Structure 1
C-alpha cells in the first residue's frame, strides 16, 4: 500500500507527524523489529534518505514510534464522566483492553523490548505505566479513593503498581486465550481486584 503523499510538499513538522502516525499504524500488526526504515519509506512513498533526515537511525525511529504509541494509550484510557469510581476504573481498563486487542502484536513487542534491557524504551514504558497509575490518585479525588478503599500513601501506590502489572499480564494472556471469561467478566474482576488487594 504505497501512498503518493511523498509528492506533496509538507512542512518538516507535518512530514514527521505523518511518519509517526504511519509508524504507529504499522506497529499495530507488526513487532518493533519488523518495522524498518525501508518499510516505512515504502509505505510513505518517500526515499530512505528523506526518512533519515527525520530519524537518524532505526533505533531513533523506534523510540519515537513507541513514545507516540504510549501517548495514544494514555489518551485513549483517559477518565470519562462516570460518577462511580469502580465503574470508571472498569471503563479505563476496558479502553486499555481494547487498545491491546487492536494493537496486540506491536504492544507485546513493546513490552518485551522494554523488559529486554533497552533503557530508552524501558523509560518510555515506565512513564506510560506511571501516568496510568498516577491518574487513579489524581483524578479520582479523595472521596473516590475512599469509595475504592484507597488512600494516597507510598504503600498503597506500591500495591496499585503491582495491580497495574497484573492487569497488563492478565489482559495480554486473555487476548490470546479468554479462558472462558467474557470481556465484561474480565473487566469486572480486574476492577474489583484493586480494592480487594488493598483491603486484605
Structure 2
C-alpha cells in the first residue's frame, strides 16, 4: 500500500477486503436491499465504477457480503476449550445470540433472502447452518455425545437440523421481544433442548 498526493493507494486484494468489511458492517444495521453499490461507494468514498470493477453487479456484491457474514458467524461461534458438552453448546449459543443482537436487521434480511428464492444466497446460508450443526458432533465427539445420552446417527442429525431451525426462530423472536426470558435462561433452555429432542 502506497500513498500519493495524500491519497492511500491499496492493492486490489486489500481494497476488495476493505469493501467487504464495510459491506458486512453496513449489514449490521441495514437490510440487504438497502445496501446498494451506490451506498457502498458513498460510504467508502470511491466511485461506483471502481466498485463494479470488484463486484460485477449488485447481486455479486450481495453474495460476497453474505458469504463474508456467514464466515464471520461461523468463526464467532467457534467452540472454546470447555469439557462439559452442554456448557460448550451454551457458550457457542451465547456467541450466536450476541451476533444476532448486534446484527439484527441484516441477519433477519439474510434469513429472508435465503428463503426467498435466491438459490445462491440460500446455498451460502445453508452451508453455514450445516457447518454450525455438524460442528456440534465433531467438537463434542462420540464420547461427549454418549455423555449426553445422544447417539450420533442420521436420525439424530436430522433432529439436530430441526433444533437448529427452531433455535434460529426463537433467537430472532427473542431479540425482538424477550417475553421476560433472560439471556441466561434462553441459552440454558436452547442448549438443553437438543438432547431432549434427540432422546424424545
Q: TM-score range by the shorter chain?
A: over 0.9
CA distance in 2, matches of 1:172, 1:14: 34
* 1:139 alignment counterpart: 139
Shift of 1:149: 2.1
Shift of 1:39: 0.5
* 1:11 alignment counterpart: 11
CA distance in 2, matches of 1:152, 1:18: 41
TM-score by length of 2: 0.96
Alignment of 1:114-153 (within 5 A): 114-153=114-153
Q: Secondary structure at the match of 1:81?
A: coil
* 1:3 alignment counterpart: none
Q: Structure 2 stretches of 5 or more lacking a match?
A: 1-5
* 2:101 alignment counterpart: 101
Root-mean-square deviation over aligned CA pairs: 0.9
Q: Structure 1 stretches of 5 or more lacking a match?
A: 1-5
TM-score by length of 1: 0.96
CA distance in 2, matches of 1:151, 1:24: 38
* 1:91 alignment counterpart: 91
Tell me the number of residue pairs that the alignment of Structure 1 and Structure 2 aligns.
195
Q: Secondary structure at the match of 1:8?
A: strand
Deviation digits for residues 4-31 of structure 1 (CA, Å, limit 9, x no counterpart): xx93111000000000000000000000
CA distance in 2, matches of 1:7, 1:27: 27
